[in-house]
Amino acid sequence: MSAHAPPSRLVLLGHPVAHSRSAVFQNAALEYAGFPQRYESLDVLPSELDRTLEALRAEGAGGNVTIPYKESVAARARCTTLAARVGAVNTFWHEQGVLCGENTDVAGISASIVALCPGGLGETRCAVMGAGGSAAAALVALHQLGCRDVVVAARTPERARRLSARVQVPVRIVATADEAVDQARLVINATPIGMLDDAMPVSPIALHTHAVVIDLVYRPEATAWVRSCRTSGHAAEDGSRILLEQGAAAFECWFGGSAPRHVMWQALGLSAGAGE
C-alpha cells in the first residue's frame, strides 16, 4: 500500500485536455480494482491554476498534470528526487494537506526503451529530438538505463544546454535532426511534430539501417513517422506504451500495489505488444 491515504478524486490538469486518453484507461482500471474514485479531465486556464490547486488540496484529490503545467506544478509541490531532477511533475497527490509530485513519464519512456532494446543500451548512441519537458524525462530514462552517448537535436540550442545541466545528463547538442540521427541506434522524438498531421521529425531515409525508433506522440493508428519507419524496416513504436506505463506508475503512486495493466491496455483498444 502507498504511505498516504488514496486520493478522494482523480483529475487530469491541463490546457487543453480534450485529446487525452488517460480517463479511458484510468477509469477502466479504477472500476476493475473496485475503487470508488473516478478520473476526469479538467481544462484549467493558466489564470485559474492556483485556485484550482487550492480546491484540489482541500478535497485531498490526486491526478495527473499535462501541458502546460508540469513545470508550474513542480514549482509548487514537494517533489520526489526524480521529479525534482526532471523539473516536471505529471503525477500528484496530497499528504496531510501537502501537494506532492512525482514524474512517471520517466518510467513510461524507460518501458518503451526496454521493449525496443531488450539487450540493453551498452555503447548505443541515442538521439533525442526536442528539448522540452518530455525530452528531460527521456534524458533521465536513458541515463538510468546506462546510456552515455546522447545527441540532442534542438532548434533552440540554449534550451537544450539548460536542460542537460538541469537533469545532469551530458549530451552533444546539434541543430538538425538529420545530424542527430546519423549513427544513432535509438532515435526518440520528443517534439509534438506529427501530433496534428502527418509531418515527420526526420525522414526515415536519414536513419541508420539498424536504428530503432520511439515516437512520444501517439495517434489512433500510430503516427505517420512510426508507420513510415516500420515500412523502411525499423522497429518502431509510438507513445501508446509510454502513455499507458506512465499512467500505470501513477496509479501505483495513488493506491500502492500493482496497476491492472492488462485492463488498461484493453481499454485503450491495444494489446500489450501493440506498439512494436
Binding site for ligand NAP (CB under 6 A): 67, 105, 108, 130-135, 154-156, 159, 190-193, 195, 216-218, 239, 242-243, 246
| β-strand partners of 187 | 127, 213
CB of 97 to ligand NAP, least distance (A): 29
Rounded Cα–Cα distance for residues 248 and 259 (Å) = 5
CB of 99 to ligand NAP, least distance (A): 20
Identity of the residue, 218 or 265, whose beta carbon is nearer to ligand NAP in the bound complex: 218
Instruction: Find out whether 90 and 246 touch, Cβ atoms under 8 Å.
Output: yes
Identity of the residue, 94 or 131, whose beta carbon is nearer to ligand NAP in the bound complex: 131
| β-strand partners of 11 | 40, 63
CB of 259 to ligand NAP, least distance (A): 15
Identity of the residue, 133 or 260, whose beta carbon is nearer to ligand NAP in the bound complex: 133
Instruction: Find out whether 121 and 147 touch, Cβ atoms under 8 Å.
Output: yes
Picking from 163, 124, 134, the residue whose alpha carbon sits closest to that of residue 239 is: 134
CB of 3 to ligand NAP, least distance (A): 26
In the residue annotation, 70 being an active-site residue is answered as yes
**Catalytic residue chosen out of the listed positions 13, 23, 70, 129:** 70
Nearest residue to ligand NAP, scored by beta-carbon proximity: 132
Rounded Cα–Cα distance for residues 131 and 178 (Å) = 16
CB of 192 to ligand NAP, least distance (A): 3
Identity of the residue, 21 or 78, whose beta carbon is nearer to ligand NAP in the bound complex: 21
What are the start-end ranges of the E strands in the chain? 10-14, 39-43, 62-65, 78-79, 91-95, 98-102, 126-129, 150-153, 172-174, 186-189, 212-215, 236-237
Instruction: Find out whether 108 and 140 touch, Cβ atoms under 8 Å.
Output: no
Rounded Cα–Cα distance for residues 253 and 238 (Å) = 24
The single residue listed with the C-alpha cell 472500476 is 31
Local structure of residue 196 (DSSP, 8 states): S
Identity of the residue, 147 or 154, whose beta carbon is nearer to ligand NAP in the bound complex: 154
Catalytic (active-site) positions? 70
